[in-house]
Structure 1
Amino acid sequence: MGGENLREHLSKKYGTSLEASQQARKTLTELGREVGFDFNFFDDMRIYNTRKAHQLLLWANQQNKQLPLTLTLWQAYFQQGKAIDEDDVLLELAHEVGLERAACQQILADDSWAKAVANTEQQWLQAGIHAVPTLIIEQKYLISGAQTSDILLEVIQRVSAETAA
C-alpha cells in the first residue's frame, strides 16, 4: 500500500492529536457539504506524494484543463480514496477531463516538467509559504494553514484598519 496514513502524517508533521484530527475532519466534512462537496474520510486514509499530479496540472493549464483536472483529482482522492501518486490513476483521471493519454504519459516521464514543479515549489517556499491553504492579502500579509473563520475575520479586519489609516 502506497502513501502514508493521513492521521499519522498529520500527527508527525503538526503534532495533531487523534481528537483534533477527528474534529478537523468533521469540520471539513461539514464545510464541504455546505458547498456541495462530500468528503469521505476514513481511518486508514492515505496521503500521497502529489508531485506527478502537479506535473499534469501544470501542463493541463496550457490545455485550459487545469480546473477540471484539479476537481477530478480532489474527487478521486477525497471521495473515492484513489492513490493519486500512481501513473495509471493519474492517466485515467486526465483522460476523464479530455486530456490525451499519450501526451500525459510524456509529461509524467519528462524530467523538465518535474523540475518545473520543483522550481515552483521552491519559489513558494522562499516566499514563506509552507502550508496549504495559504492566503496572501494585499501582497503583504500571509495567513498560513487552515484557520478558523474567527481568526480569518480578525486578520481581515486588522488589515482593513491598517490600509484605511
Structure 2
Amino acid sequence: MKIEIWSDVACPWCYIGKRRFESALNEFAHKDAVEVAWKSFQLDPSIPEHFHGSEVEYLAERKGMDPAQVRSMMGHVADAAAGEGLDYKFDDLVVANSFNAHQLLHLAKAHGKGDAVKEALLSGHFEQGENIGSRDYLVRTGVSAGLDATEINAALDTDKYADDVRADFAEGQSLGVSGVPFFVIDRKYGISGAQPAELFSQALNEAWAEANPLTLMGAGDGSNGGESCGPDGCAL
C-alpha cells in the first residue's frame, strides 16, 4: 500500500495531521507493508526568503486577516497541537519561504531520510523557532539526519530538486489538492485535512481490504464447505 502526503513545512495542521496519521499507522496490522511518500506543496510561494515580521503581522498584512482573529486561530491550533503532544510556539515562529526546505526533503527522500527530515523541519519551524528559509539551518538539519553537507549545499546552489518540487505542486493540482495536509491512498482514497486518527484507521483498513480481498476455499464453487456452526445450529 502506498500513501502519498501533500504537505507544507509552513502548515501548522500538516504537523498535527502527521501525528494523527502516524497514530493510526502504528496500530495498523499491515504497517510494514505501507510505503509513505511525502509530496511538496506551498501555501504561499510568494513569501520572501525571510519575512521581517511575526506570523500575526504576516497573516494580517498579506492575507488581510484581523490580528485578533489571527491570535484566536493560533490559540485553537496550538491547543489541537498540544492534544497530539506538540508544543507550538507561534510567538517564536519565523515566517519564511519553504521552497528550499522542500528541495532538502527531496534530497533526503533520495537517501531514504525523507521522514526524519520532514519531522525535524516541522518541529524546528513550529516548536523551536528555527528559520526554514535559512541555508545554515537546512544544512544543519540535513546533516543531523545523516546527509552530507557538501551534497546539501550543492543541491541548493544548483536548484537540483526544483523541478521535482514543482512537479509535486502540479501533480497535486491535477488530483484536486487545494489545501494541505492531503493524503492519497493507492490513488483511490483521498483524505483532506488533519482528520482524527480513527478516520485514518478506517481508511487504512478499507483500502487494505479492497486491495487484498479474502478468497474463500471449498465454498461457493460447487463443492461442499467444511463442517461449521452458524446462527441456526451446527452441521451434522
Cα contact 2:182–2:190 (8 A) shared by 1: no
Structure 1 residue 17: Cα displacement: 2.3
Instruction: State how far apart, in whole Å, the 2-side matches of 1:129 and 1:13 are.
Output: 22
- 2:66 corresponds, among 4, 10, 17, to 17
Is 2:172 the partner of 1:120?
A: no
- The aligned residue for residue 84 of structure 2 is 35
Cα contact 2:50–2:97 (8 A) shared by 1: no
- The aligned residue for residue 75 of structure 2 is 26
Structure 1 regions of 5+ residues with no counterpart?
Answer: 154-165
Q: Which moved more, 1:129-138 or 1:53-62?
A: 129-138
Structure 1 residue 84: Cα displacement: 0.8
Instruction: State how far apart, in whole Å, the 1-side matches of 2:83 and 2:100 are.
Output: 30
Instruction: State how far apart, in whole Å, the 1-side matches of 2:106 and 2:50 are.
Output: 24
- 1:61 corresponds, among 82, 96, 109, to 109
- The aligned residue for residue 96 of structure 1 is 144
Structure 1 residues 46, 91: CA separation in 2 closer, same or farther (over 3 Å shift)? Answer: same
Taking only aligned residues, the RMSD between alpha carbons, in angstroms, comes to 3.1
Instruction: State how far apart, in whole Å, the 1-side matches of 2:56 and 2:181 are.
Output: 18
More helix by share: 1
TM-score, normalised relative to structure 2: 0.53
Structure 1 residue 135: Cα displacement: 5.2
Structure 2 regions of 5+ residues with no counterpart?
Answer: 1-48, 200-236
Instruction: State how far apart, in whole Å, the 2-side matches of 1:95 and 1:113 are.
Output: 18
What letter corresponds to residue 134 of structure 2 in structure 1?
E
- The aligned residue for residue 131 of structure 1 is 179
Identity rate, percent: 24
- 2:153 corresponds, among 105, 122, 126, to 105
What letter corresponds to residue 170 of structure 2 in structure 1?
Q
Q: Which moved more, 1:109-118 or 1:57-66?
A: 109-118
Deviations 1:47-99 (A, max 9, x none): 21111110110121121111111111112111121111111110011111111
TM-score, normalised relative to structure 1: 0.73
- 2:118 corresponds, among 70, 73, 97, to 70
Larger Rg: 2
Cα contact 2:105–2:118 (8 A) shared by 1: yes
Instruction: State how far apart, in whole Å, the 1-side matches of 2:111 and 2:104 are.
Output: 10
Q: How many residues are aligned here?
A: 150
